[in-house]
Amino acid sequence: MNMALNNDQMKFFADFVEEKLGIIYVKDNYYQLEKRLVDIATQLNLASSDELWQKAQGGIFGQMKMLLLDLATNNETSFFRDPGLFKTIEDKILTEPRFSGDNPQPLRIWCCATSTGQEVYTMAIILNAWQRHNPKRTFSFLATDYSQRVLAQAEAGRYSQLEVQRGLPATMLVRFFHNESSGEASASHSPAWMVNDALKKNITFRQQNLLENFGYVGPFDIVMCRNVLIYQNVENKRKIIAELAKKISPDGYFIMGAAESLTGLSDEFELREFDRSVVYQKKASFQ
């Protein structure tokens, strides 16, 4: 299938994605959207992406809308992605007095772009170790994403051999996963690994668009929002950060991607620098 869309046609789809999700595609990265439009046309049994564009002139709704917004998102992820950050969480943040001892309040964490689940399961592994040192403490996760497709995999907790090899130590694989030895895995001679139920039990998965209301959640001690805002314009970044800040407990943490910053976007947080990473902590003056 040849891609024959011109810049105006590409902009038509890019504008729709930006309006609904805030994700920005410009001419320099139209090639990324281009590949996804070809996939969508194939899934809709259309002869070309040009035919997809023609069909879209009658309105983008139903399966076309679902596929376009689902495939427009970047779901690149892996276990323990940015190991220094997770080491900081484990050795610095979770050892603070407020996160240890006999505090009856559960520690609450929101992974707000969970993709296929590697991030939230990484955090669950870390919290499992934390709980052994703080047996009277409990914890829970909210894991959200716009894409129902990736949420389905995350909730199922099923990963290929290649996926578990990306960042997951063998000792943790053996302890927290079990090999699926039937069905698709055996038919393809490629093992699949399933997250053990014990690791899943504290996680709630839910679809969420960060540009839409999420007043039902919170407060959280830690909000993970990594490599999400880089795809948004400045206005949307400020809007999302302001709303997320309302859901973070006093002195709670807001964690972004290594290349992201709150500079010029919010004055509700202060920068905390550690040996391996940088995070943001909500100022006590903002309750």
The pLDDT, as a whole number, for residue 49 is 87
Percent of the chain with pLDDT over 90: 51
Question: Predicted confidence band at 190 (pLDDT cuts at 50, 70, 90)?
Answer: low
Q: Which two tokens stand for residue 123?
A: 């955090």
Question: Predicted confidence band at 92 (pLDDT cuts at 50, 70, 90)?
Answer: very high
Provide the residue type at 51 as one letter: E
The pLDDT, as a whole number, for residue 86 is 95
Q: What is the pTM of this model?
A: 0.83
Measured from the Cβ of residue 128, the count of other Cβ atoms closer than 10 Å reads: 16
Q: Which two tokens stand for residue 262?
A: 């709150």
Residues forming CATH 1.10.155 domain(s) in the chain? 7-71
CATH number of 83-282: 3.40.50.150
Contacts of 19 (CB under 8 A, 6+ apart): none
Q: Is the model's pLDDT at 186 over the cut of 50?
A: no
What is the secondary structure of 87-122 as a DSSP string? HHIIIIITTSGGGSTT--SPEEEEETT-TTSHHHHH
By the 8 A CB rule, do 131 and 124 touch? no
The pLDDT, as a whole number, for residue 172 is 95
Question: Predicted confidence band at 256 (pLDDT cuts at 50, 70, 90)?
Answer: very high
Residues forming CATH 3.40.50.150 domain(s) in the chain? 83-282
The pLDDT, as a whole number, for residue 230 is 85
Task: Give the C-alpha separation, 239 to 84, whole Å.
Answer: 29
Task: Give the C-alpha separation, 60 to 171, whole Å.
Answer: 47
Tell me which residue of 251, 252, 253, 228 sits closest to 240, measured CA to CA: 228
Surface-to-core class of residue 85, CB atoms within 10 Å of its CB (0-12 exposed, 13-18 middle, 19+ buried) = buried
Q: Is the model's pLDDT at 203 over the cut of 50?
A: yes
Q: pLDDT tens digit string along 227-238?
A: 888 888 899 999
Q: pLDDT tens digit string along 133-185?
A: 998 899 999 999 988 889 999 999 999 999 999 999 999 999 999 998 644 44
Q: Is the model's pLDDT at 72 over the cut of 80?
A: no
Q: What's the topology of domain 7-71?
A: Chemotaxis Receptor Methyltransferase Cher; domain 1 (1.10.155)
By the 8 A CB rule, do 249 and 107 touch? no
Q: Is the model's pLDDT at 73 over the cut of 90?
A: no
By the 8 A CB rule, do 205 and 143 touch? yes
> Which of 26-35, 104-113, 123-132 is the least confident region?
26-35
The pLDDT, as a whole number, for residue 47 is 83
Q: pLDDT tens digit string along 40-66?
A: 888 888 888 888 888 889 888 888 888
Q: Rounded mean pLDDT of the chain?
A: 88
Q: What H or E segment, with its residue span, contains residue 224? A: strand 220-224
